[in-house]
Amino acid sequence: MYSFLNRRFSNPGAYRAPGPRLRKSRAFGLFLAVVFILGSRIPAEASRIRGTHEVIIHEIAWMGTTRWASQQWIELYNPGDETVSLDGWRLRSRDNRLLFPLSGEIRPRGSYLLVHADRTDFPGVRIDGTFDTLLSMQGERLILENGDGQLVDLVDQWHAGDRKTRATMQRVYPYRCGFISRSWTTSEVRYDFGYGTPGYRDPTYATGQALYQVYHAPGAVNVYFNQPALTQYAGEGNRANHSVNLEERLIHRIRSATNRIDITVYEINLPNLVDALKDKAAEGVIVRVIVDAKEPTDPERIERYETMRLFLERMRRGRDGRLGTADDIRLLANSPIFAVEDPERRRAAGLPEHAYDLAMESLMIGSAKRQGRLLVNAARREDDSYFAPGPQMHNKFVLIDDRWVWTGSMNFTITDLYGSEFHRARNRLEGNTNNGIEIHSPDLVRVFRDEFEILWGGTNTVPDPLRARFSARKPRDQNPHRVRVGDRDMDVYFSPGYNVVPAIARHVREHAEEKMYFAIFAWSDYKLDRAAKLKWETYEGDREGKRTGFDLRGVFGFWEDWWSASINMKGLSVEEPSDRNPNIRWKYKPPIFEGNETRRMHHKYMIIDPDTEHRPTVITGSANWSHNANSINDENVLFIYCDLIANQYLQDFFAVLTRAGGTVE
Q: What is the pLDDT of residues 190-229, one digit of tens each?
A: 999 999 999 888 777 667 789 999 999 999 999 999 999 9
**Range 259-282 average pLDDT:** 95
Q: Which of 122, 274, 102 is nearest to 199 (CA)?
A: 122
Res. 423: pLDDT tops 90: yes
**Range 260-285 average pLDDT:** 95
**Range 239-255 average pLDDT:** 95
Q: pLDDT tens digits, residue range 61-70? A: 999 999 999 9
Q: Is the peptide bond before 174 cis (omega within 30 degrees of 0)?
A: yes
Q: pLDDT tens digits, residue range 525-543? A: 999 999 999 999 998 888 8
Res. 107: pLDDT tops 90: no
Task: Write down the pLDDT at residue 3.
Answer: 35
**Range 481-504 average pLDDT:** 94
Residue with the larger pLDDT of the pair 137 and 582: 137
Confidence of residue 389 (pLDDT cuts 50, 70, 90): confident
Which amino acid makes up residue 56?
A: I
Residue with the larger pLDDT of the pair 127 and 289: 289
Dist CA 648 CA 597 (whole Å) = 19
Confidence of residue 181 (pLDDT cuts 50, 70, 90): confident
Q: Worst-scoring range by mean pLDDT, 97-101, 199-203, 322-326, 511-515?
A: 199-203
CATH no., domain 476-659? 3.30.870.10
Mark 571-580 as b/e (b = at least 16 C-beta within 10 Å).
eeebeeeeee
Q: How far is CA 95 from the centre of its chain?
A: 42
Res. 19: pLDDT tops 50: no
Average pLDDT, the chain: 89
Dist CA 67 CA 64 (whole Å) = 8
Is 180 in contact with 80 (CB distance < 8 Å)?
A: no
Residue with the larger pLDDT of the pair 557 and 79: 557
Task: Write down the pLDDT at residue 68.
Answer: 93
Confidence of residue 48 (pLDDT cuts 50, 70, 90): low
Res. 16: pLDDT tops 60: no
Task: Write down the pLDDT at residue 180.
Answer: 84
List CB contacts of 84: < 8 A, sequence separation 6 or more. Answer: 54, 55, 78, 105, 106
**Range 404-421 average pLDDT:** 96
Q: What angle (nearest 5°) sits at the alpha carbon of residue 361, between those of residues 357 and 364?
A: 155
Task: Write down the pLDDT at residue 44.
Answer: 56
Share of the chain above pLDDT 70, in %: 91
Greatest alpha-carbon span in the chain: 96
Q: How far is CA 160 from the centre of its chain?
A: 29
Is 123 in contact with 193 (CB distance < 8 Å)?
A: no
Confidence of residue 273 (pLDDT cuts 50, 70, 90): very high
Res. 110: pLDDT tops 60: yes
Res. 11: pLDDT tops 90: no
* Residues of the chain by 3-state class (helix, strand, coil), percent to 5: 25, 25, 50
Res. 27: pLDDT tops 70: no
Task: Write down the pLDDT at residue 8.
Answer: 28
Is 302 in contact with 342 (CB distance < 8 Å)?
A: no
Task: Write down the pLDDT at residue 33.
Answer: 46
Q: To 10 degrees, what angle do helices 271-282 and 299-317 make? A: 20
Confidence of residue 299 (pLDDT cuts 50, 70, 90): confident
Confidence of residue 605 (pLDDT cuts 50, 70, 90): very high
Find the DSSP H helices in 498-611. 500-511, 526-537, 565-569
Calculate the dihedral angle through the C-alpha atoms of 621, 625, 628, 629, rounding to the nearest 10 degrees.
10
- The pTM for the full model equals 0.89
Task: Write down the pLDDT at residue 17.
Answer: 37
DSSP helix/strand/coil, 528:
helix
**Range 338-346 average pLDDT:** 95
DSSP helix/strand/coil, 420:
coil
The residue ranges of every structural domain in the chain are: 1-198, 282-391, 476-659
CB-based burial label for 324 (10 Å; 0-12, 13-18, 19+) = exposed
CATH no., domain 1-198? 2.60.40.1260
Q: Which of 492, 482, 487 is nearest to 437 (CA)?
A: 492
